[in-house]
Amino acid sequence: MRVCVGRPLGLSFDLLVREGSHIDWDLRSEEKALEKLPWTRGRAFSFIVSSIIFLNTVWLGLETDYYDERNYVGQVDPWRIVNYTFVGFFVVELVIRIYSRSWWPFIADNWNKFDFGLVLLSLVDTFLLEQISDSAGSLSSLRVLRVLRVARVLRLLRFFKPLWLLVIGAVDAMRALLWAWVLISILIYIFAILLTRTVGFAHRGASEDVDKYFGNLLYSCFTLFQVMTLEGWPDVARAATDVEPWVWIVFVAFLLITTFSIMNMIVSVIVDSTLEAALDQKLQAMRDQEYQTSMAAVKVDEVFRRADGNGDGHITKEELMQALLKPDVRLYLREVGIDITNAEFIFDVIDYDGSGELEYKEFALGLVKARGEAKAQEVLALQCDLWRRERTLRKELQTVCVTVDSRMRSIDDSLESLRNDLQVVDNALRMRSLQLQ
């Protein structure tokens, strides 16, 4: 029996089953845990959480500009109530996700560790530092610690992939550009010594700008850093050239080396690191997809074994529907991502030849491909419908070929008979011609 789904996975299904069968049972338990509340990994839940984080970010800005706790002494503080509401939402969201995955699988994820730390910091800020601040007064050290609540904004990185890719690219670039920054520092130091000696010391007191920009080595270093960023560099250069006209050569050389060479190189490295980070994300997504497919293969294998009661290597629709009465089979199908209410429909779709039974590989490949949303099942149904039509057309073509072949043989026989008759007539005419002579 031909498998109607062809080679949809780009992988050897037997290999996936073989790999999946060696996966540690703890990982299988983790996969089951992931399905306790599957909607926590959906787009709707992520959109709600990211929207609340964004609103909290806006609220922190408004609180910074307009909130003065001295105006609410002895009164209900609406600003604190809103802050408590945000913190409460983040705590509830964290508890839901911990329950959905269970503790150890949850904490194994680095993003979850980051979220857990930020929520814990929010709790400390809201219920500990505020109480200490109220009792001890507005101590500057406590106010600095409470500023850490702005770290909640960093949670947005989890929900916006392009933003996170930029962060990864920048961090990777910092590692790669460490020596570039060292080189820039050395260049600034060398040029600062030159300008301090030739301009700052040689013309001390000549003008206020000379003393301000080149009065000592530290001033000169900061001035050159400003020049490298192109911020007000013409004013700095004119202040130096007014006392030493040839110094313009120093500024031009410094700008060519740093701003137009090294800085552009830094930008290119950051872009390259960002592209590499995007590629790594795609590769990781592919690895995750392969892992999920291997886990699905293990569970589909178990469903087939439970449904194939007589062990003949085939299952019928009746056997499948009977197996669906078992809670463990329904659990396996839910974990794979199959809606059990559509199980009969999926069976009919996969059974494209209408034989009423499915082989193991036919069942497994079809079920793995049909997992997920209804869109995937509709695509599978369309593909199998095309296979059915192809099968029907092949049969019709075979029938036409047989019919045409039969008619061609009949025509050949008729032509052969006609040829023989003509040969007889020709022979008779020849004999008649000889007799007349």
Higher-pLDDT residue of 366 and 80 is 80
Q: Do domains 13-17+293-385 and 35-159 have the same CATH topology?
A: no
Average the pLDDT over 21-42 and give the result.
51
Most confident residue range from 171-185, 207-221, 270-284 = 207-221
pLDDT of residue 252: 93
- pLDDT over threshold 90, residue 325: no
pLDDT of residue 47: 84
pLDDT of residue 25: 36
Question: Quick one: what percent of the chain has pLDDT higher than 70?
Answer: 78
**Alpha carbon separation from 132 to 79, 103, 142, 145 (Å, rounded):** 18, 31, 8, 12
Question: CATH number of 174-284: 1.10.287.70, 3.90.180.10, 3.40.630.10, 3.30.70.20?
Answer: 1.10.287.70
Tens digit of pLDDT for each residue in 177-205?
A: 788 888 999 999 999 999 999 998 888 88
pLDDT of residue 250: 92
Contacts of residue 50, Cβ cutoff 8 Å, sequence gap at least 6: 156, 159, 160
Tens digit of pLDDT for each residue in 163-173?
A: 777 777 777 77
- pLDDT over threshold 80, residue 227: yes
pLDDT of residue 218: 93
pLDDT of residue 378: 57
**Selection from 160, 124, 154, 156 nearest residue 142 by Cα:** 124
Structure tokens at 156: 């947005």
**Selection from 190, 261, 183, 175 nearest residue 220 by Cα:** 190
Average the pLDDT over 309-329 and give the result.
77
- pLDDT over threshold 70, residue 3: no
Amino acid at 176: A
Average the pLDDT over 399-416 and give the result.
86
Using pLDDT thresholds of 50, 70 and 90, give the confidence band for residue 9. very low
pLDDT of residue 220: 93
8 Å CB contact between 213 and 219:
yes
pLDDT of residue 360: 74
Domain 35-159: assigned CATH number: 1.20.120.350
Average pLDDT, the chain: 76
Structure tokens at 19: 């790999």
Domain ranges of the chain: 13-17+293-385, 35-159, 174-284
Using pLDDT thresholds of 50, 70 and 90, give the confidence band for residue 70. confident
- pLDDT over threshold 80, residue 157: no
Tens digit of pLDDT for each residue in 111-123?
A: 788 888 888 887 8
- CB count within 10 Å of CB 39 equals 10
pLDDT of residue 395: 82
Using pLDDT thresholds of 50, 70 and 90, give the confidence band for residue 14. very low
8 Å CB contact between 387 and 352:
yes
Using pLDDT thresholds of 50, 70 and 90, give the confidence band for residue 2. very low
- pLDDT over threshold 80, residue 160: no
Higher-pLDDT residue of 358 and 369 is 358
Structure tokens at 198: 């030739």
- Tell me phi and psi for residue 194, to 5 degrees: -60, -50
pLDDT of residue 301: 77
- pLDDT over threshold 50, residue 400: yes
Give domain 13-17+293-385's CATH architecture: Orthogonal Bundle (1.10)
